[in-house]
């Protein structure tokens, strides 16, 4: 009995000694900041930063003082926390979100045949080019939903994927997963985007789909900022850098293919500051501002589209956005 | 009787057409000839709308060695260089529409008399290429490439594939019965090109009349061999295993084990090309299945619209699926705005009773697909990987050795689309390797 206790205890003591020594001699030196940074990163290992997972990116951030914050999910407080750990200010990349450029639900867009194979978009695409008649149409089998590590995409009742802006980090996994290349990354605060990427002619497209872009160019013509380009072989594209979010394009689009993502707050004139110069009246694309010179102007909220042009131009800083 | 390991025994259904003599399909008013009808580098159209063409005139020129041209199926006017749904990819593909003038006149210089046994090998290969020959069993690999093996490969066996193992189809069977001399001429020319003393003509045992006829007609250098009736007996690698006992190594080609296989129909086309300089502008196709009123074997020009062929064969009855090729490896079509290609070995119309459109269930690991796989793969594992997009892992399970014969899908009690999963994995693998090459 005692011999057994001594034997086992002795083995334990020897093993403890060996482990103790090796833990000192073979210790892997790790910068404690790496662990701290890693704790702040989202931990989804999505690879959008360009490194092999969050740990590799944390290591890069700590070891390479020139490394930039390329993780699309880090912003705000988290960004500040990581900057504090590293002791250098990190700039945030322009945050992006995913946008599905198709509004062709099964009711709106024709199918060429009945597909009964594996429920995966890539697998469906190799079968005679996919069952959806429009080659730019969403196949609706949800491969983008499957690859999203942030649970930010779900299939809606309309058979199309919907992106939850709050959850989307703009990692681009879904963009790569879509065999038809219809998912695009756009700035997170983008207000309007065109829900169609068809390069078929309007006539060909219309035979297949009732909601696609017919390339009428009404949106491009009305856009006061020349932010929209459209041609015979390309659906309308909104240049998000030029877009002032006036929403005129949405109001004229005959097929309703332009999506309103974020409706901007409307403008209001601060009466005390207004000098009555009338610039707002001249600049307003929808004639929402009115008044008499040298008297405070007013903006008709019903007409205002929140483009913010007047706010930019007002010399007296007398226009603000109505916080809703 | 010679055969390979694995395989399945589907009902062969050949009685629908195997006793029906070949008939000529009347000329269409308009032919649409796809520019891409072969595996390999694309070809470029060289005719313009409005141009007059004669039968056999070149319509496109090949770009690269592994590429072949297409020819005008009849004389007439080029209506347009346009786009039409391609039966293999299902996408719009360039094609040349030719309005027939009804005269069906040959272009000057075709047909001509030439003696292939005094011509050089290079001249023969050039004839074969210029005539646009591809493997007519369905894979459409350019014939001249197959017949010019690299110098370091020693070829000792030439096999003529008369197995026609796909159920329903009987085009090669009818050709062997009705035009044996043309096939035998083609075999002799191929032997001359390959510098081989003899060939093996392999025919499945369900065609006893063709075997007997070939045995009586064949000269001593052509040995007719009867094969066991089993699918996929006519798949190239399985055929080589059956005849020579050699196994094509993983990732290898038949020439790695010293064998070259040509389809019987291709041999007939070789005879046309080398004896008379006639390009590949027509082929024999079985129009069959219970969904077509009068199944026929037709001699049809390349570019004939599917719609007219169906009409010629009496129209459809309770059609559920139209397939280009056989039921095992053929491709289901969704449009009737397509036309016959060089590789269209059959047009099969299945009825609702013949098809089983249902969803699939989980793999129960019964192992029937493993027994059936003629390539010795584990299809059940590959199909499960297909569900999870694990193409990298599938590579370790010899994904690329799958010949997509469909035996596994045929025997699966869970009705799993195993070949579809494997094609999906192959597509993912291709996309990834294209991406890594581009980066």
Per residue in A175-184, pLDDT (tens digit) is 989 999 999 9
Band the pLDDT of A74: cuts 50, 70, 90: confident
Band the pLDDT of B134: cuts 50, 70, 90: very high
Report d(CA A198, CA A136) in Å as an integer.
5
Please tell me whether the peptide bond between B232 and the residue prior to it is cis, using omega within 30 degrees of 0: yes
Report d(CA B391, CA A126) in Å as an integer.
15
Report d(CA B381, CA B365) in Å as an integer.
9
Half-sphere exposure of B266 (CA within 13 A, CB side): 29
Token pair 């094509």 is found at B248
What does the pLDDT look like over B60-118, one tens digit per residue? 999 989 999 999 999 999 999 999 999 999 888 999 999 999 999 999 988 899 998 89
- Strands A258-260 and A96-100, by their bridges, are unpaired
What does the pLDDT look like over B342-396, one tens digit per residue? 999 999 999 999 988 888 999 999 999 999 999 999 999 999 999 999 999 999 9
* d(CA A320, nearest CA chain B) in Å: 48
Q: Which residues of B164-178 are buried (b: 16+ CB within 10 A; e: fewer)?
A: bbbbbbbbbbbbbbe
Contact A265, A308 (CB under 8 A): no
CB-nearest to A123 from B89, B358, B424 is B424
Report d(CA B31, CA B96) in Å as an integer.
8
Half-sphere exposure of A241 (CA within 13 A, CB side): 1
Report d(CA A265, CA A323) in Å as an integer.
6
- Which residue numbers of B have CB closer than 8 Å to A's CBs? 89-91, 331-335, 357-359, 386-387, 389, 417, 420-421, 423-424, 427-428
Run of H or E including A104: none
Contact: B420, A122; criterion CB under 8 Å:
no
Band the pLDDT of A313: cuts 50, 70, 90: confident
Report d(CA A262, CA A243) in Å as an integer.
13
CA distances to A197, B35, B189, B265 from B271, rounded to whole Å, are: 50, 23, 7, 10
Report d(CA B79, CA B47) in Å as an integer.
10
Q: Find the Cα–Cα–Cα–Cα dihedral B228, B232, B238, B241, rounded to 10°.
A: -20
List alpha helices for B355-417, DSSP H.
Answer: 368-372, 379-387, 391-396, 407-411
Phi and psi dihedrals of A243, rounded to 5? Answer: -65, 130
CB-nearest to A118 from B89, B335, B420 is B420
**How many degrees, rounded to 5, is the angle at CA B6 between CA B3 and CA B8?**
90
Best of A47, A126, A142 to disrupt the B interface (most B CBs within 10 Å) is A126
Mean of the pLDDT values across residues B23-38?
Answer: 95
Phi and psi dihedrals of A225, rounded to 5? Answer: -115, 10
The pLDDT, as a whole number, for residue A324 is: 54
Q: Is the predicted pLDDT of residue A88 greater than 90, yes or no?
A: no
Nearest to A262, CA basis, from A172, A174, A193, A184: A193
Phi and psi dihedrals of B138, rounded to 5? Answer: 135, -25
CB-nearest to B334 from A117, A128, A135 is A128
The pLDDT, as a whole number, for residue B439 is: 60
Band the pLDDT of A93: cuts 50, 70, 90: low
Residue A64 in tokens: 């390479």
- Strands B76-85 and B319-324, by their bridges, are unpaired
Residue A12 in tokens: 């334990």
Nearest to B279, CA basis, from B100, B37, B25: B37
Contact: B357, A114; criterion CB under 8 Å:
yes
* d(CA A273, nearest CA chain B) in Å: 57
In B, which residues are within 8 Å of A130 by CB distance? 90
Report d(CA A294, CA A271) in Å as an integer.
12
* d(CA B90, nearest CA chain A) in Å: 4
Band the pLDDT of A86: cuts 50, 70, 90: confident
Token pair 């001594």 is found at A6
Tell me chain B's radius of gyration from C-alpha atoms: 21
Interface predicted TM-score (ipTM) of this complex, two decimals: 0.85
CB-nearest to A117 from B334, B335, B420 is B420
Instruction: Quickly count: other Cβ atoms within 10 Å of residue A315's Cβ.
Output: 8
Nearest to B16, CA basis, from B222, B221, B406, B290: B290
- Ordered by where they begin, the domains of chain A are 32-86 (1.10.15.40), 97-188 (3.30.70.20), 194-264 (3.30.70.20), 266-322 (3.30.70.20)
In B, which residues are within 8 Å of A115 by CB distance? none
Say whether A217 sits in a helix, a strand or coil: coil
Half-sphere exposure of A289 (CA within 13 A, CB side): 31
Report d(CA B158, CA B313) in Å as an integer.
36
- Fold annotation for B111-276: Rossmann fold (3.40.50)
What does the pLDDT look like over B157-183, one tens digit per residue? 999 999 999 999 999 999 999 999 999
In A, which residues are within 8 Å of B334 by CB distance? 112-113, 128
Please name the residue of chain B whose CA is at the shortest distance from the CA of residue A177. B428
CB-nearest to B421 from A113, A118, A129 is A118
Where, residue-wise, is CATH 3.40.50.11540 in chain B?
A: 111-276
Phi and psi dihedrals of B366, rounded to 5? Answer: -80, -20
Residue A305 in tokens: 């589209």
CB-nearest to A122 from B357, B359, B427 is B427
Please name the residue of chain A whose CA is at the shortest distance from the CA of residue B92. A129
* d(CA B30, nearest CA chain A) in Å: 23
Q: What is the pTM of this model?
A: 0.86
In B, which residues are within 8 Å of A117 by CB distance? 417, 420
CA distances to A40, A72, A146, A147, B206 from A54, rounded to whole Å, are: 10, 12, 20, 17, 62
Run of H or E including B241: helix B236-244
Contact A151, A162 (CB under 8 A): no
Mean pLDDT of the residues in chain A: 88
Contact: A123, B421; criterion CB under 8 Å:
yes
């Amino acid at each position: 009995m005692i011999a057994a206790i001594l034997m086992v205890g002795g083995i334990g003591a020897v093993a403890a000694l060996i482990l103790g020594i090796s833990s000192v001699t073979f210790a892997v030196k790790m910068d404690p900041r790496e662990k701290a940074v890693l704790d702040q990163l989202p931990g989804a290992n999505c690879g959008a930063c360009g490194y092999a997972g969050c740990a590799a990116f944390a290591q890069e951030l700590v070891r390479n003082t020139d490394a930039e914050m390329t993780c699309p999910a880090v912003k705000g407080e988290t960004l500040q926390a990581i900057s504090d750990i590293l002791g250098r200010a990190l700039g945030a990349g322009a945050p992006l979100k995913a946008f599905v450029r198709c509004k062709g639900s099964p009711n709106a867009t024709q199918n060429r045949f009945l597909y009964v194979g594996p429920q995966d978009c890539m697998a469906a695409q190799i079968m005679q080019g996919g069952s959806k008649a429009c080659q730019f149409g969403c196949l609706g089998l949800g491969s983008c939903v499957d690859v999203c590590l942030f649970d930010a995409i779900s299939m809606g009742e309309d058979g199309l994927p919907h992106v939850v802006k709050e959850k989307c980090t703009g990692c681009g996994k879904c963009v790569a997963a879509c065999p038809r290349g219809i998912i695009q990354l756009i700035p997170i605060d983008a207000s309007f985007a065109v829900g169609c990427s068809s390069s078929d002619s309007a006539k060909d497209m219309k035979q297949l789909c009732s909601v696609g872009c017919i390339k009428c160019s009404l949106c491009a013509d009305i856009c006061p900022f020349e932010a929209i380009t459209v041609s015979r072989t390309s659906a309308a594209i909104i240049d998000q850098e030029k877009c002032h979010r006036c929403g005129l394009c949405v109001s004229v689009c005959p097929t309703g293919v332009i999506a309103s993502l974020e409706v901007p707050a409307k403008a209001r004139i601060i009466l005390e500051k207004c000098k009555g110069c009338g610039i707002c009246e001249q600049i307003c694309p929808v004639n929402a501002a009115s008044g008499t010179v040298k008297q405070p102007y007013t903006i008709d909220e019903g007409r205002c589209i929140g483009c913010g042009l007047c706010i930019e131009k007002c010399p007296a800083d007398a226009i603000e956005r109505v916080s809703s | 009787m010679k055969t390979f390991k694995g395989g399945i025994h589907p009902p062969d259904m050949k009685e629908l057409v195997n006793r029906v003599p070949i008939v000529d399909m009347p000329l269409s008013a308009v032919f649409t000839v796809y520019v891409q009808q072969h595996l390999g580098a694309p070809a470029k159209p060289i005719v313009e709308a409005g141009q007059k063409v004669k039968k056999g005139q070149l319509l496109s020129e090949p770009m690269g060695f592994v590429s072949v041209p297409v020819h005008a199926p009849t004389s007439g006017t080029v209506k347009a260089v346009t786009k039409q749904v391609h039966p293999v990819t299902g996408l719009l593909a360039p094609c040349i529409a030719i309005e027939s003038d009804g005269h069906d006149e040959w272009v000057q210089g075709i047909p001509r008399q030439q003696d292939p046994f005094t011509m050089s090998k290079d001249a023969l290969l050039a004839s074969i290429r210029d005539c646009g020959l591809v493997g007519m069993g369905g894979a459409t690999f350019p014939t001249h490439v197959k017949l010019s093996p690299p110098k370091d490969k020693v070829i000792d066996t030439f096999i003529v594939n008369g197995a026609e193992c796909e159920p329903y189809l009987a085009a090669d069977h009818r050709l062997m019965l009705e035009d044996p001399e043309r096939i035998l001429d083609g075999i002799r020319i191929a032997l001359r090109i390959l510098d081989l003393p003899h060939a093996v003509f392999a025919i499945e045992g369900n065609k006893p009349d063709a075997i007997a006829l070939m045995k009586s007609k064949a000269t001593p250098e052509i040995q007719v061999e009867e094969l066991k009736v089993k699918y996929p007996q006519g798949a190239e690698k399985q055929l080589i295993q059956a005849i020579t006992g050699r196994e094509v190594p993983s990732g290898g080609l038949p020439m790695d084990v010293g064998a070259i296989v040509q389809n019987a129909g291709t041999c007939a086309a070789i005879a046309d090309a080398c004896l008379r300089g006639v390009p590949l502008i027509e082929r024999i196709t079985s129009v069959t299945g219970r969904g077509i009123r009068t199944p026929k074997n037709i001699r049809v020009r390349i570019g004939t619209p599917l719609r007219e062929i169906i009409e010629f064969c009496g129209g459809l009855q309770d059609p559920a699926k139209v397939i280009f090729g056989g039921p095992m490896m053929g491709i289901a079509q969704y449009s009737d705005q397509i036309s016959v290609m060089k590789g269209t070995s059959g047009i099969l119309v299945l009825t609702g009773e013949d098809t089983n459109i249902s969803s699939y269930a989980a793999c129960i690991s019964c192992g029937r697909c493993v027994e059936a796989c003629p390539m010795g793969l584990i299809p059940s594992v590959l199909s499960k990987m297909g569900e999870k997009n694990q193409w990298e892992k599938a590579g370790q399970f010899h994904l690329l050795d799958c010949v997509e014969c469909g035996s596994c899908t045929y025997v699966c009690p869970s009705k799993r689309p195993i070949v579809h999963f494997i094609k999906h994995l192959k597509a993912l693998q291709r996309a990834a390797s294209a991406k890594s090459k581009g980066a």
